[in-house]
Structure 1
Amino acid sequence: MQHGIKRVSLSEEAKRLKLEKDQVKIKEYRALTEELFKLREDGNYSDEALLKNNEILIINPEFYTMWNYRREILSRYKAEDVQVYEDLLNQDLKFVLSQLKKFPKCYWIWNHRTWLLFELVKIEKVNWGFEFAVVSKLLDLDQRNFHGWHYRRFVVENMEVACKGDLAKILKINLDEFNYTTLKIQKDFLNFSAWHNRTKLIPKIYNLIHGNEEELNGVLDTALFQDPKLVMNNDLEMIKTGMYMSPEDTSVWSYYAWLLSDEFFTNAFDSKKEYLDTLNGQLDVITELNEMEREDTGNDNPSCVKFLKYIESLKSELQ
């Protein structure tokens, strides 16, 4: 009994010490914030201001006003010495990367990194290949990170620009990205961002190939993209695994709806009957899955019920 009382006493003491420590931190943070606002108000864009800015952003990376101030400080060097500006931008990329490792889902860090790269573009010193490696590594650490996927698309778009119209290189970049989404999905069928990226890549790759066959001259394996129906059947088979493994996950079902209804696929069918046969086949798949769920839980699966109705509605539109 006495031992228990002693532990409570220590716990209360620990709480008191923590509260005191937190109050000191809050006081220091407020003082630093006030100092930085004063520096900005006075038009102070010195090295000292940049160091102070480092301090506040390490504590609070969501402080977007301080990111704005940081860009103002960095921009001062642009007019003075381009080489110094380049070095400073690259140093800041390292700072931002260290922050991304700690706060990978903070929008303002990603936003600032994008700004740094555009500044490097202006002085023709950007390295998109390195940036691609960085975002690939970050997605290895957190493969569902929405911000990371958005940033990856941004990097890929700029890698394409750097290809200067070389269709074979541009196509290879996009085929590699398609294969990358396949890899990430097979590791985690709940990866919404990978499925979403696929919806952008499939029509893009198809359009890059068709109409440019002579220029591409068969240099890459594009057999899957010769007909939208081939892609559709390939992905219907792949997504079936995801539905059976995680029937409650919305990302799988969202992609499934896209496969069944997007005009990119539906316009590829030679007849209404051919499309109808595909829909009936999918009704069988969902019915079987729902029966399995009912055997396991005693209830219909809500997603299965929803999509049985959805597929029937697609069929009715053909009438």
Structure 2
Amino acid sequence: MSTTLYCDNPEWKDVTPIPQDDGPNPLVPIAYSKEYSDAMDYFRAVTRTNEKSARVLNLIEDIIDMNPAHYTVWNYRQQVLFALNFDLEQELNYIDEIIADQAKNYQVWHHRQVIVDRLDKGDREIQFINSVLDEDSKNYHGWSYRQWVVKRFNLWNSELTYTNDLILFDVRNNSAWNYRYFILFNNPNSPSNELLESEIKFAQKQIILAPNNCSSWTYLKALHEKMDKPLQSVEPFLQQLIESKVDSPFVLSTYIDIYEQCAKLENTPVNPAAFEMCLELAEKKDTIREKYWNYKKKNLEKLNIN
């Protein structure tokens, strides 16, 4: 970042800065630093004249250094880069440095997407995203950007294997489970029944390892819903867990879902066991969600009335 104020820089003497106008009596004016106010005064001036030059890029870098979440500045940077036919690979190197310290800054991730889309190649992106997720495997921006990259450049082939590794390392990584679902059902090549059946077994295996992990249970139920497969087919697996003395509220909650689904599909009363399970969850197994299970029980009772 420049240590000289722009108002004292001879290179900028041809520009008349435009101060921020907060009106005659601002209620709570923001106390900007002298350096930031100075740089923004010149930024407003160059955008007013639509100047796109190397010195404007330097000005923008200074502002980003002080406020990396300034969306308007990032947007104008893109316009300047494209107008100058700037080396976009070099720009990616610059973004690498910014994201190293600003991994959860939406604006810089969006800027990278714009640049990569303009380059029309994503050969360095997966490795880059991996490095970010290695630092924080639940970084929302990294996962969201990964979805875009995979779709944009048709990079589906090795992504299930990637989530395998993450889930084996941390079965509770909800981001990896969500991404696995995305890969399965957004791929232009629809998953085969054989693959989906293997995914059910994969989810069941992870449930056995960590029966109180919500992510794997949600994934298992989502697979059945997507396959239009009755949830009742999970009953043998639930019985296996019970026989193995697995004590998890998700066993009971899945049984409740099964009883509810059967009642709706067959137009029959809800199995009374579902009401007892709701009470057991509310009073013993999942007391933190007591109100939810009491609410669920009332809704199931309404099904019997109707």
Please indicate, yes or no, whether the TM-score normalized by the shorter chain is above 0.5: yes
Tell me the distance in 2 between the aligned counterparts of 1:289 and 1:57: 57
Q: Say which of 45, 70, 74 aligns to 1:63.
A: 70
Does the 8 Å CA contact 1:289/1:304 hold for their aligned counterparts? no
Would you say 1:132 and 2:95 are equivalent positions? Answer: no
Does the 8 Å CA contact 1:287/1:308 hold for their aligned counterparts? no
Change (3 A) 1:137 1:228: same
The superposition leaves residues 211-265 of structure 1 with CA deviations (integer Å, 9 ceiling, x where unpaired) of xxxxxxxxxxxxxx635323212322223323x3xx3x54344323313x32326
Alpha-carbon RMSD: 3.0
Moved more, 92-101 or 129-138: 129-138
Alignment-derived partner of residue 230 in structure 1: 198
Would you say 1:180 and 2:162 are equivalent positions? Answer: yes
* Code of the aligned partner of 1:72: Q
Does the 8 Å CA contact 2:203/2:216 hold for their aligned counterparts? no
1:26 Cα deviation after fit: 2.2
1:175 Cα deviation after fit: 4.2
Change (3 A) 1:61 1:239: farther
1:130 Cα deviation after fit: 1.8
The superposition leaves residues 37-72 of structure 1 with CA deviations (integer Å, 9 ceiling, x where unpaired) of 222112222211111100111222211011111112
Q: Say which of 179, 186, 191 aligns to 1:197.
A: 179
Matches within 5 A, 1:247-266: 247=212, 250-259=214-223, 261-264=224-227, 266=229
Does the 8 Å CA contact 2:171/2:206 hold for their aligned counterparts? no
1:186 Cα deviation after fit: 1.3
Tell me the distance in 2 between the aligned counterparts of 1:227 and 1:156: 20
Change (3 A) 1:48 1:178: same
Alignment-derived partner of residue 292 in structure 1: 247
Would you say 1:149 and 2:143 are equivalent positions? Answer: yes
Change (3 A) 1:105 1:44: same
Q: Percent identity?
A: 24
Moved more, 200-209 or 175-184: 200-209
Would you say 1:316 and 2:263 are equivalent positions? Answer: yes
1:316 Cα deviation after fit: 2.7
Would you say 1:241 and 2:209 are equivalent positions? Answer: yes
1:209 Cα deviation after fit: 6.9
Would you say 1:52 and 2:50 are equivalent positions? Answer: no
Tell me the distance in 2 between the aligned counterparts of 1:70 and 1:227: 45
Which structure ranks higher in relative contact order (CA pairs < 8 Å, sequence separation ≥ 6)?
Answer: 1
Matches within 5 A, 1:31-110: 31-78=38-85, 85=86, 87=87, 89-110=88-109
Tell me the distance in 1 between the aligned counterparts of 2:187 and 2:62: 45
Tell me the distance in 2 between the aligned counterparts of 1:135 and 1:288: 42
* Code of the aligned partner of 2:135: L
1:100 Cα deviation after fit: 0.8
Does the 8 Å CA contact 1:181/1:195 hold for their aligned counterparts? yes
Report the TM-score when normalising by structure 2.
0.67
**Structure 1, unaligned runs of 5 or more:** 1-22, 79-84, 161-172, 211-224, 267-271, 294-300
Tell me the distance in 2 between the aligned counterparts of 1:315 and 1:97: 52
Moved more, 129-138 or 200-209: 200-209
Tell me the distance in 1 between the aligned counterparts of 2:242 and 2:54: 66
* Code of the aligned partner of 2:225: D
Does the 8 Å CA contact 1:228/1:265 hold for their aligned counterparts? no
1:34 Cα deviation after fit: 2.4
Does the 8 Å CA contact 1:100/1:109 hold for their aligned counterparts? yes
Report the TM-score when normalising by structure 1.
0.64
Tell me the distance in 2 between the aligned counterparts of 1:177 and 1:203: 12
Does the 8 Å CA contact 1:29/1:56 hold for their aligned counterparts? yes
Secondary structure, counterpart of 1:70 in structure 2: helix
